[in-house]
Structure 1
Amino acid sequence: MSNQAEVLRNSISRVRQPEAAWLNAKWRERLHIIVVGAVLPIIVIVLWQLLGAFGVISANFLPTPFAIAASFKDLLVNGDLIRHLQISLGRAAVGLLIGGSIGLLFGLGVGFSDKMEKLLDPSMQMVRMIPHLALAPLIILWFGFGEVSKIFIIANGAFFPLYINTFMGIRNVDNKLFEVSRVLEFSRTKQIFKLILPASLPNIFLGLRLSLALSWLGLVVAELIGSQEGVGFLINFAKQNSNTEVIFVGIIIFAAVGLLVDVSVRFLERKYLQWREGFQG
């Protein structure tokens, strides 16, 4: 009996060894990507610090990374950074949820219906070309400087990428797949949920990434134009007081959070679109 148990343990060990080796190789590859990607930023930061420390670059024009880090620490310790960041994230989330959801629904409707496309898409394409900054004064005139105007500006940015990419994703589904579905006698409902929507997911995820980026841009516009709270207000207040370090802190926060959100969506893409093959470089 003990011999059989030993054989079983050896078999399990042999199975786990290739799996462990694969996981180690995967983590090594990820670590390599992180290290390679960090080389250029580290070089830039070191040069930046040296040029600032030796007075080559004026501190009023471009504060050193150490000075920016000190301002970041001060804002973090007194709680201002967390408070303003929470407010900005809340606004961006609400605007994205409203604008992105409506954009997704309109994209599905126009994608599945030729009549809706003829009725809605020309107007949508015309409105899409109006920049955020052109609409912002009108929105503020209508709704004032309160939260409604800010959410409206953010939602406007989030709407169009999801609308367009959902619509195009549905219309670009390969017609050969429909021929296969007819051979398999798929019902219309099964075609939608087993064929059209899965085939449209790459475009929908792309639309989500673009909506996140534009809603974040809309947040910056909304908070810089008129706000008493948020990271945009922090930047604007620092500008009025010629506090360049705090301006850089706000810019870095916007960049870091935007990157973190984009990476999260790319993680979901890799998880749900494993079936898709693409060029790896």
Structure 2
Amino acid sequence: MTAATAATRADVAPAVPPSRAGGPHPDVRVVRRRLGPGPRTRLSFWVGPLLLLAVWAVGSWAGFISPAVLTAPWDVAKEFQNQWVDHDLLGNIGTSLRRSVLGLTLGVLGGVVLAVASGLSRVGEALIDGPIQIKRSIPTLALIPLFVAWFGIGESMKVTTIALITLIPIYVNTHNALRGIDGRYAELAETLDVGRVEFVRNVVLPGALPGFLLGLRFAVTVSLLGLVVVEQFNSESGIGHVMTLAQQYGQTSVIVVGLVIYGVFGFLADTAVRLIERRALSWRRTLEG
């Protein structure tokens, strides 16, 4: 065998790990495995909802799902069109979105302010954290009769309920993230003679951003849960009002339309928060990234 032939065979031969004795194993190939979930596929978050829709459609078509239990998706689509054209569904959707967004905004602002005041100050924690933990043990929906007595049955009661529901996950996750900042950063800041305000702005608050965004995902979901409940109280508009009327007249298809709209709201809102999280935290090296 010539030197050129040997070199060619060496170039095409697979790389093999050396044996314990120092020589190669001729029948063993190197297999590289990737730990974690693997590379992200484009629009992969739509796979689960589309699969759920397919199961619903196939089950309804095959007769496994009775129309009395769950209306078929094509009948829901027809009812959606009917509500859109003849019953001002767009106006009811706008009313529900306005309530949810306003309550969510107030809850997020309140949760962030309280979390920062409690997380960055021992005095603030002593004054704020205890009452918040007490509130966590009391379901907000159980306070609705009290809110009705305070605010009446108008929009104030509905928005206040949603705001109080969303405040808790924002506070808990942001406060936990603030308290979880590595103490070595504070030591480094003291060594470099970094001011407290600059340290909080450039280190503490960015470090707490993952916790805040996690709390925001929970807050978006619970804001819709609160919306479903408060719209049952003497509402004259909104998706909950439509569903309440449908319940009185036994219109299952209209109820399912409302449930689908709530589900789409939640899915799109959570997707938006996840996209914001991915962009805002692109500097982190995690399994998701």
Interval of TM-score (by shorter of Structure 1 and Structure 2): 0.7 to 0.9
Cα deviation code 1:63-118 (max 9, x no counterpart):
21111111011112236211100000001111111122111101110011111111
- The equivalent residue for 2:131 is 123
- Whether 2:228 is the aligned partner of 1:247: answer no
Q: Any conservation in 2 of the 1:104–1:163 contact (CA below 8 Å)?
A: yes
Structure 2: unaligned runs, 5 residues or longer = 1-38
Q: Any conservation in 2 of the 1:235–1:250 contact (CA below 8 Å)?
A: yes
Cα deviation code 1:141-178 (max 9, x no counterpart):
22221111111111111111111112111110011122
- Whether 2:195 is the aligned partner of 1:174: answer no
Cα deviation code 1:208-258 (max 9, x no counterpart):
111111122111110023311101111111101100000000000001011
- Whether 2:264 is the aligned partner of 1:256: answer yes
Q: CA deviation at 1:182?
A: 2.3
**Aligned partner of 1:194 among 189, 202, 208:** 202
* Structure 1 residues 35 and 59, CA gap change in structure 2 (3 angstroms): closer
What is the SS of the residue equivalent to 1:182?
Answer: helix
Structure 1: unaligned runs, 5 residues or longer = 1-26
Aligned-residue CA RMSD in angstroms?
Answer: 2.0
**Aligned partner of 1:165 among 169, 173, 181:** 173
Q: CA deviation at 1:51?
A: 3.2
- The equivalent residue for 2:246 is 238
Name the aligned partner's letter for residue 110 of structure 2.
I
- Whether 2:51 is the aligned partner of 1:43: answer no
Instruction: Give the whole-Å Cα distance in 1 for the aligned partners of 2:50 and 2:90.
Output: 29
Q: Any conservation in 2 of the 1:91–1:150 contact (CA below 8 Å)?
A: yes
Point out the more displaced range, 136-145 or 39-48. 39-48
Q: Any conservation in 1 of the 2:173–2:214 contact (CA below 8 Å)?
A: yes
Instruction: Give the whole-Å Cα distance in 2 for the aligned partners of 1:167 and 1:59.
Output: 47
Instruction: Give the whole-Å Cα distance in 1 for the aligned partners of 2:128 and 2:206.
Output: 24
- Percent sequence identity is 37
- The total of aligned residue pairs comes to 251
Instruction: Give the whole-Å Cα distance in 2 for the aligned partners of 1:192 and 1:44.
Output: 50
Larger CA Rg, structure 1 vs 2 = 2
* Structure 1 residues 35 and 151, CA gap change in structure 2 (3 angstroms): closer
**Aligned partner of 1:59 among 52, 67, 72:** 67
Q: CA deviation at 1:280?
A: 3.6
Instruction: Give the whole-Å Cα distance in 2 for the aligned partners of 1:214 and 1:40.
Output: 24
- The equivalent residue for 1:90 is 98
* Structure 1 residues 35 and 241, CA gap change in structure 2 (3 angstroms): closer
Instruction: Give the whole-Å Cα distance in 2 for the aligned partners of 1:172 and 1:144.
Output: 41
- The equivalent residue for 1:218 is 226
